[in-house]
Amino acid sequence: MKYILVTGGVISGIGKGIIASSVGTILKSCGLHVTAIKIDPYINIDAGTFSPYEHGEVFVLDDGGEVDLDLGNYERFLDIRLTRDNNLTTGKIYQSVINKERRGDYLGKTVQVVPHITDAIQEWVMKQAQVPVDDDDIEPQVCVIELGGTVGDIESMPFIEAFRQFQFKVKRENFCNIHVSLIPQIMCRCTTALENSVKEKISMFCHVEPQQVICVHDVSSIYRVPLLLEDQGVVSYLSRRLNMPIETRPRKMLTKWKEMSDRSDRLLEHCSIALVGKYTKFSDSYASVIKALEHSALAISHKLEVKYIDSANLEPSTLQEDPVKYHEAWQKLCSSDGILVPGGFGVRGTEGKIHAINWARKQKKPFLGVCLGMQLAVCEFARNVLGWTDANSTEFDPETKHPVVIDMPEHNPGQMGGTMRLGKRRTIFKTTNSTLRKLYGDAEYVDERHRHRFEVNPELKSHFDEKGFRFVGQDVEGERMEVIELDDHPYFVGVQYHPEFTSRPIKPSPPYLGLLLAAAGKLQSYLQKGCRLSPRDTYSDRSGSSTPDSEISELKLPSLSNE
């Protein structure tokens, strides 16, 4: 096993996650099996109880792990499936060590940071590095480890000490460190490429060779970062430094990335999506949602414009308190090509989201509701079509006479962390003429990731069906409503799951792709062609393929190694 540790200096948020993902991408393009681990030095057990304003979105994995959003970057760049143990926190380590101490595993010894905490960190990394993350279930050959925060933080010191010891345990030829730092003009992050004289100066003062100083300057798209590292010889250096058997021939996977990056710079047509939420002041709150929209826009050769709208600003109360803010929000909404209401928690802004959904339904504007967005679409329809004016979720109005969204039986209201319906669950399509089913390639079922405490009340389903509001997807038992579609509407779709978590740059999420296609006026022609994109919308003019799905199949490692 080869270990590559990515650390950061000077400031947090310097770009360690993108560097770690990019290094993994170029190594995977060489035919190697690559896994990734993110270390967060905070004391929380996981990211499940964070406010989105604290650390950005909570990313959900197949096994229900609620983790740091950087794991989303790893999955998207490397097209892998990680587990909750790929996110290591101080809380998890201390909990593990304390549990061992309580069981008597340390035989009465004094339990200390060194060696017990540092040993536990090393053991965790070595064990998790061996877990397969690709569809072929082959054990990884390379593990990229990102240490969150900055070197010098008190909370990260046990991890720094653990890896100081680790380099000797696994031997020099199996371990290297990439340190991402800042060059104030503001591996080295800067706005423009470094001159050789600057590289040589950094080399001298940091005690590394000039070829080990890699400049990662600002680029037009994050998808260019792997190409930037490749151009500066990172693969050939790592191959020598870690004694890895890497072929030097051209790599198809990176060719795809270059085509994708070039296309993203050439886009001429625009498509605007209104994102109606409550955390719109901090875009990382919806990181995976934005990426899923970008993937879909790129697939249909459109430049994406996301219009962030604080849902509270759409409510009548804002008209009284701040008329300018109210009218600006509605102008953004009405001028958008499509509307997205993402997941969320809490009552603030929910009425504004319902107003946005009402407008999308009546104006036949393409709409996608995710998790809470789907639940609120049910509430809106119940109020304004079924005539249940007090219809609501029991999350927001426990006393409503029409509880169209209810608390799930397994939810424990006294415990917040890890008590939701989490992780990969199966959704069965109940009809063959569903638009979303067609977008999924006419699949009978899909496996997508969930994160919710409330669900649509199944006892009221028949009232909606009679009015053309269809629950076209349900769980395996047929008890939970998973997908909604509205008759006589170009695209009005709601999903209980979070499809953004499995979207990939060259394989966009079908619900998001449907939204972008409808917003661009291309959905019907796409469906009529059997869900095939036009030649100019594919990722390679030479592949003979015309769908994102078939393009991704060309990235599988076995085909790379067998050519």
- Give the end-to-end CA distance of the chain in Å, rounded to a whole number: 25
List the beta bridge partners of residue 308.
275
How many beta carbons lie within 10 A of that of residue 190, not counting itself? 17
Q: Three-state SS across 489-538? A: CCCEEEECCCHHHHCECCECCHHHHHHHHHHCCCHHHHHHCCCCCCHHHC
List the beta bridge partners of residue 133.
none
Q: Provide DSSP, 264-332.
A: HHH--EEEEEEEEES-TTSGGGGHHHHHHHHHHHHHTTEEEEEEEEEGGGGSHHHHHH-HHHHHHHHHH
Q: Provide DSSP, 170-203.
A: H-GGGEEEEEEEE-TT--EEESSPPPHHHHHHHH
259 is catalytic: no
Which of the following is catalytic: 371, 379, 402, 450?
371
User: 88 CB contacts (<8 Å, ≥6 apart)?
Assistant: 37, 38, 39, 40, 121, 124, 125, 128
- 100-104-108-114 Cα dihedral, nearest 10 degrees: -10
Query: Which residue, 520, 493, 506, is CA-closest to 553?
Result: 506
Instruction: Tell me 49's DSSP state.
Output: T
Joined together, the tokens standing for residue 56 give 């950005």
For the chain, what percentages of helix, strand and coil (3-state, to nearest 5) are there?
45, 20, 35
Region of residue 142 (phi > 0: left; psi between -120 and 50: alpha; otherwise: beta): beta
- Is the CB of residue 484 less than 8 Å from the CB of residue 429? no
- Is the CB of residue 337 less than 8 Å from the CB of residue 523? no
Q: Which helix (H) or strand (E) holds 425?
A: strand 421-429
φ, ψ of residue 486 to 5 degrees: the values are -110, 130
Compute the distance between CA of residue 403 and CA of residue 422 in angstroms, rounded to an integer: 23
Q: Which helix (H) or strand (E) holds 308?
A: strand 302-310
Which of the following is catalytic: 259, 380, 500, 551?
500
Compute the distance between CA of residue 71 and CA of residue 247 in angstroms, rounded to an integer: 28
Residue bearing tokens 């109005």: 397
User: 337 CB contacts (<8 Å, ≥6 apart)?
Assistant: 271, 272, 273, 365, 366, 519, 520
339, amino acid identity: I
Compute the distance between CA of residue 36 and CA of residue 27 in angstroms, rounded to an integer: 12
Which of the following is catalytic: 351, 498, 531, 551?
498
195 is catalytic: no
Compute the distance between CA of residue 173 and CA of residue 238 in angstroms, rounded to an integer: 10
271 is catalytic: no
List the beta bridge partners of residue 421.
452
Cα-based distances in Å from 359 to 314, 448, 464, 518: 11, 28, 19, 16
- Cite the active site residues: 371, 498, 500
